[in-house]
Structure 1
């Protein structure tokens, strides 16, 4: 696995669009404090980009016991992906405008469902604008696609996952992608319990990005996180920003398993131990 298997640059996307080559572009703008990105998308987006709702289409809130952002079913995701215009064998580019959270979630969900050729726009919408890319406004409705998903249960899909029990007995490095103060248990603005899974290491998802929002190189990532000779797992609050870690590691050639339920699932079970501090 290489960087090019996970990421695409703004220049490369512009080349695809200018040449008229088939590509599906998805706008997955989402922030923890502002989860609905429809208005931002309508104000300006990559030409032809379809808005994707992380809350409504990349999450199934009817599922209980699996954290704040349970994974969608394969059947629901396939219907959504066809509505977005995704087609078998056609490159799909996902982007966002906040710390690669929305795009990493879309990349992880679609890749876990068995879709080949999904790439994160490195640097997000800001990189597109810096490269001179044009923006268009208004809603976008795509022609229906024909994509087929090969995995109906994303918890057992094409990408490795961890259950809560797996996380409790993980035999490798378990990385917590949340901010340091949340990891230490000093602040918890979202979930009812503060702290982290015992044995986990703090590796904030923003730390795998450079100042301009692009993913750090494999060498920089290794220097920052240290070598990982054994298995690696990642979690966050609800499985969204941990996908940024998983994507960064995969781009650097390291396979990491995601705990989709993450801290929101873990701390909802009073029998699970909680650690605090550094």
Structure 2
């Protein structure tokens, strides 16, 4: 990924794009994707205050298919995803900026899906709503219908077998918290541990003060220390494909492409008999 297509945008740069001097073609469509794992719904927070013109997008309903054997957040049906994005005003010729409450996981899920579906001008607000110091609105906008039609395949995706194979020939990163990787705790899925061969790389370690993405040089150093550098074949998984999207965003910021194991640990453990490793080592 070239620097011109950096996957993040600062609050200051976004404010400029939303200002009166910005050409209409450069004004991004704003997606509010506030969501917390096991937390309250994001829509009431959106109603209490959101960026001017932002449309709320529900991660569970619009950025994922219903949970099941394919995981807690399977990839959405492309037609249903396209309809949700058009409702939000997404157009193929206009940039998109997604934001959430601050840690970036949900916004990165929207970023990844749109990039996977063929939209080339998508970014995440660095630091989320917490970094925004401009005005907020409470009125719900009704943007003109967008024209974006998904064409899946622009970003690589792994299934369970592909993830296992990549762990043997490349680097498969586990973006969950270290204690879940080690199998010490598992608050959500039926089995603790990790995919054999996967390397622990909690996505929270990609963030610095204020929930901002760490500088590119720091990120590159972090990934190099765990065996990832330009040219490495990389895959990422997490619990259900949400926080892994943020890891892929951080990798993209350093110029490294990575595949998403969309079903992630929730799919891996849904099939009895799949191997599980525990402890600090990949296994």
- Normalised-by-shorter TM-score class: over 0.9
| CA distances 1:13-61 after superposition (whole Å, capped 9, x unpaired) | 1111113533200000011022620001111111110000000000110
- Please list, as runs of the form range in 1=range in 2, the aligned pairs for 1:1-278 lying within 5 A after superposition: 1-5=1-5, 6-18=7-19, 19-20=21-22, 21=24, 22-34=27-39, 36-61=41-66, 64-129=68-133, 133-151=134-152, 157-170=153-166, 171-226=169-224, 227-228=228-229, 229-278=231-280
Q: How many residues align?
A: 269
| CA distances 1:146-189 after superposition (whole Å, capped 9, x unpaired) | 222223xxxxx110111100111111111000011111111111
Q: Give secondary structure in 2 for the equivalent of 1:102.
A: helix
CA distance in 1, matches of 2:66, 2:192: 23
- Deviation, 1:138, is 3.6
| Stretch of structure 1 that moved more, 109-118 or 17-26 | 17-26
Structure 2 gaps of 5+ residues are: none
| Cα 1:4/1:32, change in 2 over 3 Å | farther
Structure 1 gaps of 5+ residues are: 152-156
- Deviation, 1:99, is 1.3
CA distance in 1, matches of 2:173, 2:50: 33
Q: Give secondary structure in 2 for the equivalent of 1:195.
A: coil
Once superposed, which parts of structure 1, at least 4 consecutive aligned residues long, lie more than 3 Å away? Answer: none
| TM-score under structure 2 length normalisation | 0.91
Q: Give secondary structure in 2 for the equivalent of 1:169.
A: helix
